[in-house]
Amino acid sequence: MTKHISKISLIAALAAGVGFSSCTKKFEEINTNPNKPSTASSEWLATNILTSVTSKDISQATGFRQPFTLGKYIGWTEQVSDYQYNKLTRVDFSRLLVLRDVNPMIKNASSNELKTTFEAFGHFIRAWQFFQTTMQVGDIPYSQAVQGATGGIKAKYDTQKDVFKGILSELDQADELFSKGVNFSGDFVYQGNVDKWRRLANSFQLYVLINLYKKTADADLDVINKFKTVAARPLMRDYTDNFAVTYTASAGYCYPWSSTPAQLNSFLDYPALSSYLLDPMKATADKRLFYMAEPSAAQITAGKTASDYDAYLGVDPADELGVIVSNKKAGKSCAVNKRYEEMYNAEPVGLFNYWDLQFILAEATVRGWITGTDAQTYYANGIKGHMNFLLKYAPASYAHGMPLDDAYINAFPATVALTGTMENKIKQIITQKFIAGFFQNSDFNAWYENRRTGYPVFTLNTSTNLNTPSSVMPLRWMYPQKELDYNAENVSAALKTQFDGNDDPGQVMWLLK
């Protein structure tokens, strides 16, 4: 996996071509260069699409930390951070614009076999982008989305249920078509390996389905039987199947948090790691802590060593900013491990990872959706998968004298074995998923999991909570201003059917009911 080129979109070119009439034919003939292709190759378009879906979501510097601020992995000490204090504002639908490149990518394929592959790839990308969009707001344009080239510029909104049905159908089609496809160029994640893409599509579909856990009684969705069907398909096998981007030592291509001669990061002094991340690892003697954090200066001064779990102090991001800043200045907090700063290729950043799949399978087993393998096995696979990933990419020199090794990795899951009620087991699973998600899963996955399950349990501090009212956590972002400006009739209809016309963060979308 290598990081791709910067995003270059065909959107403007495509839009410009829509309005041309026959009177321009002569002009086009005169101004066409016969030595250059008049259409973009499928491979180039695939790269462009994949660039948009991956590194556009994996921002650099302070942008990179935003999902982890909302997900309460860190407190931010530069200034009051909206996400840290639960303020959700308006989003945009810009991630859907790249879907305009899907049909040209398929159309321009140089063979029928490649057309099958690009159709599969297109279905996965559509499912991915629509999923991320609906998870933020609720109902969205789906059936009429990205049809500007055909004159449809005011798309109607589909219900969130219909969007999810469409996403599941597209992922089914991706599975079938990838099974018949051939390897392709233009892919910097899996190097065009259709088997890996098929495994990702199926694994991601299980994530979509676990988010529908409140809809198991819906006969149209048939969530449990659908989960069983998809779980029997080819799935991700280990961390080498992660849907991830790797980095190189040149500006714009370095690890997002790094600060090296190739790429500087001026925001390294502001984060303080949270108690939600550090305390579970301290309580279970989890050596991953030493790969994620720097010890508290105050604890080192007090005689603790960097290899002592008690040398690590987490902050509560819900505390008042002044309290967090004071603790940080007093050395009573932990910075991010130096490896993220000093290594241009600290680790690949995954948008969906093998361990995510294993924790999903563990949860589904605990819920009784699937049988045959016990939940502890999946749960252990998830933990070990993440630990093996760290062992591969994080040098032991950054582990503060507490490096991982095979013996420790194989033994650790039994020390945090699933126990008790179904609810307690789910809490344990989500806790481990949260730990493994640090500086991974940059599409707000940890916050979605908290919204869905309530874990980890975040502090609700009414004196700092920027949501309205401050007595509750927000549940969604608000619709884009551009939709209100240019598609008011459709967005208003969607708001009326969902939320009695109220577009605010406290409204409960269909998925959560």
Structure tokens given for 436: 């493994």
pLDDT at 356: 98
Query: For residues 214 and 222, is the Cβ–Cβ distance under 8 A?
Result: no
**Model-level pTM greater than 0.85?**
yes
Could you tell me where the DSSP H helices lie in 211-265?
Answer: 223-231
Q: Which residues, other chains included, contact 233 with Cβ-Cβ below 8 Å and sequence gap of 6+?
A: 175, 198, 202
Backbone phi and psi for residue 500, each to the nearest 5 degrees, phi listed first: 55, 30
Residue 158 lies in a domain: yes
3-state secondary structure of 76: strand
pLDDT at 60: 83
Helix axes 375-393, 354-366, angle to 10 degrees: 170
Residue 386 lies in a domain: no
Q: Tell me how far apart the alpha carbons of residues 74 and 76 are, in angstroms, rounded to a whole number.
A: 6
Amino acid at 425: K
How distant is the alpha carbon of residue 67 from its chain centre?
9
Q: Tell me how far apart the alpha carbons of residues 268 and 266 are, in angstroms, rounded to a whole number.
A: 6
Q: Which residues, other chains included, contact 352 with Cβ-Cβ below 8 Å and sequence gap of 6+?
A: 200, 203, 204, 207, 242, 243, 441
pLDDT at 149: 58
Residue 132 lies in a domain: yes
Helix axes 422-436, 354-366, angle to 10 degrees: 170
The CATH number of the domain where 127 resides is what?
1.25.40.390
Residue 299 lies in a domain: no
Residue 309 lies in a domain: no
Domain carrying residue 155:
90-235+478-513
Residue 508 lies in a domain: yes
Specify burial of residue 504 (Cβ count, 10 A radius: 0-12, 13-18, 19+): middle
Q: Tell me how far apart the alpha carbons of residues 18 and 14 are, in angstroms, rounded to a whole number.
A: 7
Query: For residues 436 and 445, is the Cβ–Cβ distance under 8 A?
Result: no
Mean pLDDT, each 10-residue run in order, the chain (513 residues):
39 32 38 52 96 87 93 97 97 95 96 97 98 98 82 85 98 98 96 98 98 98 98 98 95 92 92 98 98 98 98 98 98 98 97 98 98 98 98 98 98 98 98 98 94 98 98 98 96 98 97 98
Cross-strand bridge partners of residue 140: 158
Number of folded domains in the chain?
A: 1
Residue 254 lies in a domain: no
Residue 380 lies in a domain: no
Q: What is the DSSP string of 291-352?
A: HHBPPPHHHHHTT--TT-GGG---B-TTS-HHHHHHHHHTT-S-PBPHHHHH-TTS-PEEEE
Distances (CA, A) of 318 to 267, 349, 433, 474: 20, 27, 21, 14
